[in-house]
Structure 1
Amino acid sequence: MRVSVVLCTYTLEEYDHFREAANSVLAQTHEDVELVVVVDGYEDVYDVVADDYGDHPDVQVHCNDENEGLLVSRNRGAEYATGDVVAFIDADAVAAPDWAAELVASYEAHDAIAVGGKMTPRWVAGKPAFLPAEFYWLVGVTHRGFADGEGEVRNTFGSNISFRAEVFGELGGFDPEIGGRKGEKNLQGGETELCARMREEYGEGVWYNPDAVVEHKVFDYRTDPRWLADRAFWQGYSKRAMETILPETGGEEGDFLKHLVTDATPAHARDVVRQPSFASVAQFVMLYVFTALVGAGYLYGTVDYSA
C-alpha cells in the first residue's frame, strides 16, 4: 500500500522545523512512502525546498500561485498524490519511524476508510505546570480521556490523519471555509467537518491507532495562558459552528464533558489532597477555567449563528 504524505509550508522562518518534519517522513520504515510538499504561494520558499528535495525520487514539490491557506494547500497536495492513502502532517511535527507502517496496518486489519494516530507533545519551551492533561488538545496534542485504546473515533488531529485516496477525493477534501481567522473570529476544525461528512456519506469514522505516533512541537507562545484562553474560547465557538453546519458532530464533546465530571475532577481533587503543590492546585482550577472559556465560546457561537 502506497502512502502519500502531504506537508505544507509557507515561510523560511521555520524552515528547520519543516526539514525535520520532511526528513521524518522520508525516514519511515514502510517502504512505499511519497512526500508531497506544497508551498503556499511563496517562490523564495519554493526555491529553497526544491533545492533541498526536488531531486529526491520520493518527493514532489509544488507551489501555489498565491497564498491560499492550509486547507486549500492540503487539498492540492492530495490532488498531486499518487498513493492509495493520503496522509497529512504539519511542519511543526515529527513522525515516528513506524508511523506510516502503523497506519497501513490499521487499513489492512480493519478495512478502514480513514486512519489517524496519537499526537504526543515536545515541550519546546517547557511543560506548563498549570495545564491539565485533559486540555492538551488546546496545543494540538492527544488529551487524557480522548479514547479508550484503539477503535473508531469521529476524527483525530489534522497533523496525524489519513484517508483512502478515493474516499478523500469523493468527499471533495477539506472545506477551505473551515479554518483560520476571519475578522475577529477564529473558526477551527477542518478535519472535524470533513470527518463528519465522511460519516454521513460512508457511515464510518476514523480508525484510531495510538501506536501511529506523531510528535507535536509546543512552542513558547502556545504555553502562554492568554493564548490558551483565546484558543479555548474559539474552540468552543468552532464546536457550535460545526453543530450548525453538521448537526451530528457533537457526540464526542458530550463524552468529554462527562469524562471531566466523572473521572477528571475526582482524579485532580485526589492529587490536590495527596500531593498539594502549585501544579496540582493550578491544574484543578484551570480544568474549570478552560471549561468555562469553551462554554463561553459555545454560547457566543449559539447567539452568532442564530442571529
Structure 2
Amino acid sequence: MSVGDLTHANATVDGRLAGTVSTSVVICAYTPSRWQAMCDAVDSVLTQRLPVDELLLVIDHDEDLFAAALERYRGSVMPKVLRSTGPRGLSGARNTGLRAAGSDVVAFLDDDARAEPGWSEAMVAHYTAEDVEGVGGYAMPDWPDARPSWLPAEFDWVVGCSYVGQPTTVAPVRNFIGANMSLRRDALVMVDGFDSSVGRIGSKPTGCEETELCIRISQRKPAARLLFDPDMRVWHTVSRDRTTFRYFVSRCYHEGRSKAMVSRLVGASDGLSSERAYVSRVLPRAAARGLASCTRAGLVRAAVVAVGVAVTSLGYLRGRVGSRSRGVVR
C-alpha cells in the first residue's frame, strides 16, 4: 500500500490551544534486547509537558516482541501497537506508522531514545510558520560508561547523535538525525514516505533514509524550510558494542555506501552538499586541534579523524562502483 493512498485526517485533544497543530509520534522497534529502552522511550512521550495526540509503536517483524508490547500496553489509550506491514527494516516500519498516523505532524523517535519533557513543545512551536515542513532536534549521547576518549565529537553521528559541525541555534538544515525528527504529514505523503531501499535493517550499520527523504521533500518544494532546533532534545542510548573502534570503522564504511545510494537516488549535488562543508571545514579543524594539543589523546583523535574520512570515502567509492556495475548511476 502506498502512503499516498491515504487522505489527511486531523486529530484533536481536549484543551489544545486553537491553531496548534496535532502531533503523532512513531516509535519503531525490532528487537527484544531493547525492551527497557523502548518502554522508556514510550514513557518519555507520554509525559511531555505538551501532550501529543497519538503515539504509535510499530514492531518490525518480530512476533514475540509484538505480543509482549501488545500485552504491556493492553487497555492503554496510548501507545497503539502495530505490526509493520512494510518490508523488513526501519523505513518500512516508519511507513507503517505514517499510514496509521492521523495528525498534522508526524514525529519519529528511536526506540532507544528518550525525549526531554519540553520536546514536543519545542517542536510544535515552529509549525505555526506555513513554510516549515519539518523540525528536527538535538540527540545527546547516553554513554554506557564514560565517553570514549579516542572519539572526536565531530563523529558522534556514528552513534546516532548530534555532532560538532551542526548548528548551535535554530537554523535551516538539509536533513535531520533520524532519532529525533518530525515532518508535516502532507509533506511525507507528497513524496510517498521513506524509500525502503535505503536505511537500516536490524543491526546492520547502514542509514541515510532520513537524508534521502528530506532531500526529496526539498526538491519537490524548494521553498520549504527544514529547521533544526537544539532545544528539541532527546537522550539517545549508546550501547556498549557501539563504543568500540571496530564499530566506528564499520559504521563509517556503511555510511559511505549509504551516501552513494542517496547520491544515486537524488543526485550527487544535493546528496553530498552538507558533506562537502563537513569534510572541508569541520574535520580539518578537528584534526588540527588534536595535533595542536600535543597530548596522546589529542593525537589519537586526530588519527581517528583521518581514519574516519578514509574509510567513509572508501565505502562511498565502493558504493559508486557497485552502482556503475549495475548501470544505475545518475
Regarding TM over 0.5, the answer is: yes
Name the CA shift for 1:205/1:55 in 2 (closer, same or farther; >3 Å).
same
Structure 1 distance, partners of 2:156, 2:88, is: 28
Structure 2 counterpart of 1:259, from 281, 287, 303 = 281
Shift of 1:205: 4.7
In the other structure, the counterpart of 1:124 is 144
Instruction: Note the C-alpha offset of 1:46.
Output: 2.1
Of 286, 289, 295 in structure 1, the residue corresponding to residue 304 of structure 2 is: 286
Q: Distance in 2 between matches of 1:258 and 1:159?
A: 26
Identical-residue share of aligned pairs (%): 32
Q: TM-score, normalised by structure 2?
A: 0.85
Q: Number of residue pairs matched?
A: 301
Give the C-alpha shift of residue 155 in structure 1: 0.7
- The amino acid that maps onto 2:277 is D
Residue type at the aligned position of 1:29 = R
Query: Equivalences for 1:90-109 in 2 at 5 Å?
Result: 90-109=110-129
> Distance between the aligned counterparts of 1:261 and 1:224, measured in 2?
20
The CA deviation string for residues 19-57 of structure 1, in whole angstroms up to 9 with x for no partner, is 001100111111333210112233332222122223222
- The worse-fitting range, judged by mean Cα deviation, of 7-16 and 99-108 is 7-16
- Cα deviation 1:244-269 (Å, max 9, x = unaligned): 21112211000101223553233323
Q: Equivalent residues in 2 for 1:146-185 (5 A)?
A: 146-180=166-200
Residues 124 and 40 of structure 1, relative CA distance in 2, 3 Å threshold: same
Are the counterparts in 1 of residues 191 and 216 from structure 2 also a CA contact under 8 Å? Answer: yes
CA contact (8 A) 1:10 1:39 kept: yes
- Tell me the secondary structure at the aligned position of residue 287 of structure 2: helix
Where do 5+ consecutive residues of structure 2 fail to align? 1-20, 326-330
Q: Give the 3 Å change call, closer, same or farther, for CA 292–19 of structure 1 in structure 2.
A: same
Where 1:14 maps in the other structure, the secondary structure is helix
Task: Tell me the amino acid that sits aligned with residue 258 of structure 1.
Answer: S
Residue equivalent to 2:315: 297
Partner-residue secondary structure (3-state), 1:207 = strand
Structure 1: segments with no counterpart, 5+ residues: none
Separation (CA, whole Å) in 2 of partners of 1:40 and 1:262:
40
Aligned-pair distance for 1:65?
A: 6.0
Superposed CA RMSD: 2.0
Counterpart amino acid of 2:321? Answer: V
Structure 1 residue 67: deviation in Å?
A: 7.0
Contact kept? 1:106, 1:209, Cα under 8 Å? no
In structure 2, relative to structure 1, the CA distance for the partners of 1:130 and 1:76 (3 Å cut) is same
